[in-house]
Amino acid sequence: MTNWKEILATNLAKNSDSVEPPDVQLPILPKAFSDFREKSQNPDADINQLSRIIASDAGLSTELLRTINICMAGSLKKITSIKQALVMLGISTTRMYLTISGMKQVMKSTSSKLINFQTFWNANLERALFAKEVAKLLKADADVAYTASMLQDFLLPLITNQRLDDYLEFSTERDQYHNLISFEQQKFGWDHAQVAAQVMHAWNFTDELVCCVFFHHRGAEVLKDDQLRNTSVAAVAIATLIPEALRQEPHGIDALLELDRTWPVLNLIPLAEKINIEFQQTAGQVRNHFPLIRVLKNKLMQTSAAR
């Protein structure tokens, strides 16, 4: 059994002094979201009371129902009320979708000059679907992996907007750095994964979810860690290698292909094709999204032509 509390306590303690960006204004969680998460931890929680808590925030309620109906399309009849969601899905699953919906509100509250929110959210979704499948291969918690991948970069729209000139430097000179984390550490002495984990810990998110966010840029190297290699953390870290608009992992596609060669169970191309179908079913036909399967096939064609 993985001791998430111990792992988190050790790693956050190591980084606590350096993770205090003095000029970054952090977001505030919706009150209904915080209240629900607190009340829903009680095993005797009343569904009617929990429903009223969420319903007190119209925007959060609408986003939650939208998220559930998009993600569950084809498998359930349309859910039209918060109480119906709690009854049909259960408190735990509803809390997962509420976490995604609440954090989406937090992210959307910042208008970033560098990050297009819809493109950003679509990339999160693809990585989350991928992380969920990898978690199944690892026999880890697929729901935690999915949720963590949706949330791992929740501070980037805010931080990139407040430190725009610095992040523009990364976007134009990223090949000089191993990844975004390396750039942030050199530039600021902290990185967005550390800050996000500290914030989520302060907000009383579960230790496993916070660990997923803290370690999400560990890449395939996490599979060599005795504590983490068969956990949701590993699934999220591997999914983070998928290219996205900011190209946080400039060599991520190469790392994924190398992992496919050394870990045959991954079966990358069929997995990417499956993810693409699930993405289209969930998000529909979206613009400006370059799916993983196309990136992989282009890369393989380039490699073959170079031989």
Q: Given phi > 0 = left and psi -120 to 50 = alpha, else beta, which region is 215?
A: alpha
How many angstroms separate the Cα of 41 from the Cα of each of 32, 196, 198, 204?
A: 14, 22, 21, 11
Same structural domain for residues 138 and 238?
A: yes
Q: What secondary structure letter does DSSP report for 307?
A: -
Cβ–Cβ < 8 Å for 32, 54:
yes
Question: How many separate domains does the chain show?
Answer: 2
Same structural domain for residues 48 and 14?
A: no
Domain boundary at 109, 132, 156, which?
A: 109
Same structural domain for residues 15 and 152?
A: yes
Higher pLDDT, 209 or 66: 209
Cβ–Cβ < 8 Å for 62, 90:
no
How many angstroms separate the Cα of 279 from the Cα of each of 100, 101, 120, 153, 210?
A: 16, 17, 14, 19, 25
Same structural domain for residues 82 and 125?
A: no
- Residue 74: what pLDDT? 61
Same structural domain for residues 215 and 194?
A: yes
Residue 217 C-beta-side C-alpha neighbours within 13 Å: 21
Query: How far is Cα 110 from Cα 263, in angstroms, rounded to an integer?
Result: 39
Same structural domain for residues 169 and 291?
A: yes
Domain boundary at 109, 134, 164, which?
A: 109
Same structural domain for residues 154 and 98?
A: no
Same structural domain for residues 58 and 135?
A: no
Using the predicted structure, report yes or no on whether residue 202 has a pLDDT greater than 90. Answer: no
Domain boundary at 58, 78, 109, which?
A: 109
Which residues span the domain enclosing 159? Answer: 4-24+114-306
pLDDT digit string (tens) for 84-134? 999 988 999 999 999 999 888 888 877 788 998 889 999 999 999 999 999
Confidence label for 75 from pLDDT (cuts 50, 70 and 90): low
Same structural domain for residues 59 and 128?
A: no
Same structural domain for residues 179 and 139?
A: yes
Instruction: State the CB neighbour count (10 A cutoff) for residue 291.
Output: 18
Instruction: List Cβ neighbours of 106 (8 Å cut-off, separation of 6 or more).
Output: 27, 28, 29, 30, 154
Same structural domain for residues 105 and 133?
A: no
Q: What is the pTM of this model?
A: 0.91
Q: What secondary structure letter does DSSP report for 79?
A: P
Which CATH number fits the domain that encloses residue 262? 1.10.3210
- Residue 83: what pLDDT? 93
pLDDT, mean over the chain: 89
Same structural domain for residues 186 and 292?
A: yes
Query: How far is Cα 246 from Cα 66, in angstroms, rounded to an integer?
Result: 27
Cβ–Cβ < 8 Å for 133, 271:
yes
